[in-house]
Amino acid sequence: MSVVARYISRMFFVRLAVVLFAVVGFGLMFDLIENAESVLRAAGSRRWPVLDYSLLRLPVILAEMLPLVTLVAAI
C-alpha cells in the first residue's frame, strides 16, 4: 500500500469516527428525549434504566446512521 493510499484511508477513518460519534450521539439523545418518560415508567426496580435503554438502542441507531455517516465522511 502506498503512502498516499494510507494517508487517504487514515483520513477517511478518522473522519468516519468523528462524524459517527457526533451523529449517533445526537440520534441517541433525541431518541431518549422522545422515550424517556416511558422508559422511566417501565423501569421498575432497575438501577440505571436510561443507561440500559441507551445500550440496547445503540446498535439500532448505529445501523440506521452508518450509511449517511459514511457518505458525509467520504465527502
State pLDDT tens for residues 8-46. Answer: 999 999 999 999 999 999 999 999 999 988 888 887 777
CA 56 to chain centre: 12
pLDDT of residue 42: 80
pLDDT of residue 68: 94
pLDDT of residue 57: 93
pLDDT of residue 44: 74
- Cβ proximity of 50 and 32 under 8 Å: yes
